[in-house]
Structure 1
Amino acid sequence: MMNRNEEVAITRCKGDMLPVQIAALFGHEKIVLHLYNDTTAKGFLTDGDLIELLVTLIDNYLYDAALQLLNEHRELAIVYAKSGETALHALARKPLTLSDSVNPNHQQGILKSLFNLCTNMVHKKKMHPKALQLVELLWERIILLDDKSISTLIREPSRLIFTAAEQGNDELLSKLIHGYPDLIFKVDDHGYTIFHVAVLNRSIKDLIVVMEDKQENNILHLAAKLPPSNRLKILSGAALQLQRELLWFKVNIHTTFLC
């Protein structure tokens, strides 16, 4: 069709959508890539078209095309779609999947669907690796903004860090917190931090485990280390010191995070 009529790739249909956007909407990634490369070469995609396309690609799990688009247009990280969302908001609300191959747009047999459902109930779901790459690319651009702009972006139109906490998306939160630690102090309308929200959604242990320092220690690793000598000397004798440490762990770690 394009060989016969070059205008077909840039002809807008009802709703002012281009064929590349419709292909993304229906999950046809190969067609998206073909039309995208042809359409952008002619310069017909506006900034508005590009952000709508990026969010649609994320919504439909077309991460290869989304990565190509974002790599070529890093500025899209801080652009809002018509829905009021940024691409990071779209990723924060994505349901987690069990494996790289899980794609809701792919048809599969009843037995395979049931097997995947049962497996998901046993194993922890994770974010798609390429979705995490998107998070990293987006966040690299966003953290270049000033504090006020960052706060506005993660708060409007929805508070994406709390959306991610509700989803149990600890991997996304870990990426964001690693680059911008102040996020742990943000609170929602109820005065809840992401830890409160994670507790309510029973995902707090996972959130703690993935938050690591430069030596790959998480909070529980640090709790297991001996405290400074000046803290140990409060009580004399190894037995009393050990008893104090166990009591501290029970009160501060077990009660706060694991119960």
Structure 2
Amino acid sequence: MHEDGSIIRASIKKESRETVLHIVASKGHCDFMKKLLELLREDDLYLLDKKGNTAFCLAVAAGKVRVAKIMLEKDPLMATLKCAEGWSPLRLATFRGHSKMAWFLYPKIIEDLEQEERVATFFICINRTDTSLYELALKMLLEYRELAEARDTSGETAFHLLAGKPKAFRSAMLKCFLHICLGKQLESPGLQVLKQLWKIVSEKDEKTVKGIFLTIPSKGKPSNALFIAAKCGNAQFLAELIASDPALIIETDERDRNVFHIGAMYHQWSIFSLVDKLGADEHSILSAQDDRDNTILHLAAKVAGPLQWDEMVGPAIRMKRDLKWFKDVTKVVPPDCLDKTNLEDKRPGDIFIEQHRALNDLLVNQKEMSWTTLLAIFASSFGIVAALVGAANFVLQQIRSN
């Protein structure tokens, strides 16, 4: 390379057009990189591979912080050059989950990023399956408050992404233990970001706040972040917002369903931990009926979907779990909900028996349970009258349909 500098600029692989510099950068060979930079011309750092990446971009993609630092000492402008697909190095680092690289690059290029690129980077930090970049997202929020109202390509805000991530509100066991020993309260990464989001948004008028909680999809109906959280069982998300604004707990969707209706539908018991926050509105909220006059108990009577149970779980276990779920919800809602009928003149017990017919037929075929056994269990749980009424209504419906 000392004798023939063109070797440095030559493509090692014709199909990828990668040079020696690209290979060394992606592999993280620091000593080799230092010596290589002594031989390079200034414009050699800007050589692109077939995808449009500089060697610096490959170092970022591989999370090689030391090599990236060496290259920036040679030419600080490398951090401002876009990588393949027009992404900034910071966006690429967050997408690959390299938190150390992201923190290294952030102060160097964040001010030079266009707003669209900054928004995309912010959403990548929040949308990852782990929470390693939530601290960076929090820093971005503190410095660029407009991100609290920003939307991604799906029309969602940061509230929507956090609502669907209950794991982001759980703290690592070791950290919890250390904080307990030190007598300090530990806040999960998701909760820290949510608090900052709400601090910014709460300064807006009521109409703006409600708009932020709604998606603006290109197709389909808008969805509310509150009901996404209820569906996913993200009780901490809801608890934090309701504590800040109690009026949010009476919000309903397009079908007049509140968060407890949604929690009941998806068998999310954690949502019912919010009952103690209802105060004087407890009876009216828990006895509320949707646009089809279904109470919370009507919805709790339905078969649990695949979101709740593993497909490998047998029908007998599913039946017992569904029955237990129905019984648990019965203890929470007002007693008169058990006898309320919907627009189809069906009580919650009728819905349970009807919805579980296919599951029970499967049990009968496997000789695990008969209809008489199911009614007996139902009677022991809710009373013989409720069981007989449910059975009679179900038989009448079958006679009418046939």
TM-score w.r.t. the length of structure 1 is 0.68
| 1:174–1:211 contact (8 Å) kept in structure 2 | no
Root mean square deviation, CA, Å: 3.0
Q: Relative contact order (C-alpha < 8 Å, sep 6+): which is higher?
A: 1
Aligned with residue 114 of structure 2, among 41, 46, 53: 46
- The percent of aligned pairs where both chains have the same amino acid is 28
SS at match of 2:165: coil
Aligned pairs for 1:39-188 (under 5 A) are 39-40=109-110, 43-60=111-128, 61=131, 62-96=133-167, 100-101=171-172, 129-157=188-216, 158-188=223-253
Cross-structure match for 1:36: 106
Three-state SS of the structure 2 residue aligned to 1:182 is: helix
Q: How far does residue 63 in structure 1 lie from its aligned partner after superposition?
A: 1.2
Question: Structure 2 CA distance, aligned partners of 1:254 and 1:53?
Answer: 50
What displacement does 1:134 show? 0.4
Distance 1:35 1:255, change over 3 A: farther
Q: Residues 11-22 of structure 1: matches in 2 within 5 Å?
A: 11-22=81-92
Shift of 1:36: 0.8
Provide the C-alpha distance between the structure 1 equivalents of 2:264 and 2:336, rounded to a whole number of angstroms.
12
Task: Output the CA distance in 2 between the equivalents of 1:211 and 1:74.
Answer: 33
Q: What is the deviation of 1:34?
A: 0.7
- Distance (whole Å) between structure 1 residues aligned to residue 139 and residue 82 of structure 2: 23
Kindly provide the CA deviation profile for residues 81-115 of structure 1, in whole angstroms up to 9, marking residues without a partner as x.
3332211211112252695349xxxxxxxxxxxxx
CA deviation vs aligned residue, 1:175-216 (integer Å, no higher than 9, x gap) = 111222222222223321111001112224x23435666xxx
Q: Report the alpha carbon displacement of residue 143 of structure 1 after superposing the two structures with TM.
A: 1.5
How much has 1:255 moved relative to structure 2? 7.4
Which of the numbers 253, 258, 273 marks the counterpart of 1:209?
273
**Partner residue, 1:122:** none
Q: Which runs of 5+ in 1 are unaligned?
A: 103-127, 224-248
Q: Measure how far apart 1:161 and its partner are.
A: 0.7
Per-residue CA deviation, residues 12-48 of structure 1 (Å, 9 max, x unaligned), is: 12332101001101110110011111113xx311222
Query: Alignment length, in residue pairs?
Result: 200
Q: Deviations over 1:157-187 (max 9, x none)?
A: 3311111111100100111112222222222
Question: Which is higher, the Rg of structure 1 or of structure 2?
Answer: 2
Name 1:114's counterpart in structure 2: none
In structure 2, the CA distance between the partners of 1:52 and 1:183, relative to structure 1 (3 Å rule), is: same
Distance 1:55 1:189 in 2: 27
Distance 1:168 1:84, change over 3 A: same
Shift of the 36–93 alpha-carbon distance from structure 1 to 2, 3 Å rule, reads same
State the Cα distance separating 1:64 from its structure 2 match. 1.7
2:260 is the alignment partner of 1:195: yes
Question: Does structure 1 conserve the Cα–Cα contact (< 8 Å) formed by 2:79 and 2:109?
Answer: yes
8 Å Cα contact 1:20-1:32 kept in structure 2: yes
In 2, the alpha carbon distance for the partners of 1:195 and 1:250 equals: 14
Letter in 2 for 1:154: F
Residues 157 and 213, structure 2, Cα contact 8 Å, conserved in 1: no
Unaligned 5+ residue runs, structure 2? Answer: 1-70, 174-186, 217-222, 284-329, 339-381, 383-402
Secondary structure of the corresponding residue to residue 24 of structure 1? helix
Change (3 A) 1:24 1:255: farther
Contact 1:48 1:81 in 2 (8 A): no
Match of 1:10 among 77, 80, 101: 80
Query: CA 1:82–1:98 in structure 2 vs 1: closer, same or farther (change >3 Å)?
Result: closer
One-letter amino acid of the structure 2 residue matched with residue 209 of structure 1: S
